[in-house]
Copies of this chain bind each other. A is one copy, B any other.
Amino acid sequence: MQDDLKTRLCDAVDAGFDRQVAFLSELTAHPSTRGNEQSAQGFMAGELTARGYEVDRWQIDIADIQHLPGFSPVIGPYEDAVNVVGTHRARSGGARSGGGRSLILNGHIDVVPAGPLDMWDSPPFEPRVVDGWLYGRGGGDMKAGLASNLFALDALTACGLAPGGDVFFQSVVEEECTGNGALACLARGYKADAALIPEPFAEHLVTAQLGVLWFQVHLKGLPTHVAYAGTGSNAIEAAIPLIQALHEMEHRWNAAEHRSDDYAHAEHALNLNIGRIQGGDWTSSVPAWCVFDVRMGLFPGQSIDAAKAEIEQVILDAARGNAFLRNSLPDIVYHGFHAEGYALSQDSSEHAASAIIALEAAHHSVTGTALERAAITATTDARFFGLYADTPALVYGPRAEAIHGFNERVDLESLRRVTKATAMFIADWCGTEEV
């Protein structure tokens, strides 16, 4: 790419950056937790339409995706799960006619719950900018990424250019619990030569991500009046040895001999999290029930089915140590992530290599430094493109802090750099054509 074009794209990002921050602020003000994404998706669809993209907005239908690899089981209806995709068709016809390569710019609109409001310094859905950081739930994870994708395209437009290949701008739901939003985009036919997902990993290129399994453990107890507690069985306390057994399993899975290449030196990449618990109805009744929710990481290449079998074995073995549970074994319910790990580092395709080179060049132009790589201990929607659509997926986004925590925030100068690098990457990967 000519230095002149790089400079013009950077200038355009700078010129539009106040508007970009205002856009991010407005998007973050939509409290798009699971089931409540519709107003944020409406806002995204409006912004895409105003820019002239062809907008596709549809409700996910389980029947369209449940037979596909990568599907995660869900409990409850999907009536409120709506995806938005804005499409740019290259005038040249793109790669189909010998033009530029196509690209998916993907981001998720769903955010995790804010948690107790009194632990935030200011309300989580009233974003504010202080000392170069934008604060708010979802500001970092990952509405800044959606803003980066959109305003990178805007920078090309401001330079009188459009991508020379087809570009699909995806705003998806369900990233934080299943990935079924990204899967539904695949099922609807959206394919491209590469995908870029600006998840907030501090301007590193993510070369590997873990798999994630979610499951619920439902325990029963034998309720009695607490006066006769010795004759009952406390479902809440019965959870404790099961949790301990799961942590022992976590320890085993993290052992050096089980690690995949990208995590060979990670002492504790796989985290098991007891994320929620609920049990009992009355303080003076021995509780008859308890449910706890678990998230467990998996290495790339680790079989989901084998992992589930071992988890079930561990829970049932621990339950057999409890006189009551032995005859009333826990139920294990899968509700949420059935996510395999994915390693871009293992993708030896020409597309993967050239996409990484293009991103390295863009990153270096903006920052003057080499693109650092990271094997992350979470999952992202990248797995759908990489594992199930032969599409290299580059996860590269701004620096954020306290994602899933209180006072989540994103570094605006980092967002500015990522937007510039993204604009250059698009221009390089897709080529450009005059508007």
Residues of A within 8 A of B (CB): 112-116, 119, 141, 176-177, 210, 212, 214, 220, 222-230, 232, 234, 236-237, 240, 243, 268, 271-290, 292-295, 297, 336-337, 376-378, 402-406
Contacts and interface: CB of A to CB of B under 8 A. Distances in A.
A275 B280 contact: yes
Given A116-B289, A234-B273, A278-B278, A225 B283 contact: no
Contact of A283 (B220, B230, B289, B295): B295
A276 B280 contact: yes
A403 B115 contact: no
B214 A283 contact: yes
A76 B332 CA distance: 36
B275 A282 contact: yes
A176 B285 CA distance: 10
22 contacts: A112-B282, A113-B281, A119-B220, A141-B225, A225-B378, A225-B405, A226-B271, A226-B404, A229-B271, A232-B405, A234-B273, A234-B274, A236-B274, A236-B276, A236-B292, A240-B243, A275-B285, A276-B281, A276-B283, A277-B287, A283-B294, A284-B295
Contact of A227 (B271, B287, B290, B337): B271
Nearest to A229: B271
A294 B402 CA distance: 32
| Residue among A212, A222, A275 facing the most chain B CB atoms (10 A cut-off) | A275
A275 B268 contact: no
B276 A276 contact: no
Contacts of A290: 277
B275 A293 contact: no
A226 B378 CA distance: 8
Contacts of A220: 119
A265 to B, nearest CB: 15
Given A404-B223, A405-B223, A284 B273 contact: yes
Contacts of A236: 274-277, 292
Contacts of A287: 274-277
A288 B226 contact: no
B281 A226 contact: no
Given A229-B271, A277-B280, A283-B294, 4 more contacts: A112-B281, A176-B282, A227-B378, A237-B274
A277 B274 contact: no
Contacts of A283: 177, 214, 273, 275-276, 293-295, 336
A229 B275 CA distance: 11
A226 B294 CA distance: 11
Contact of A404 (B243, B286, B293): B286
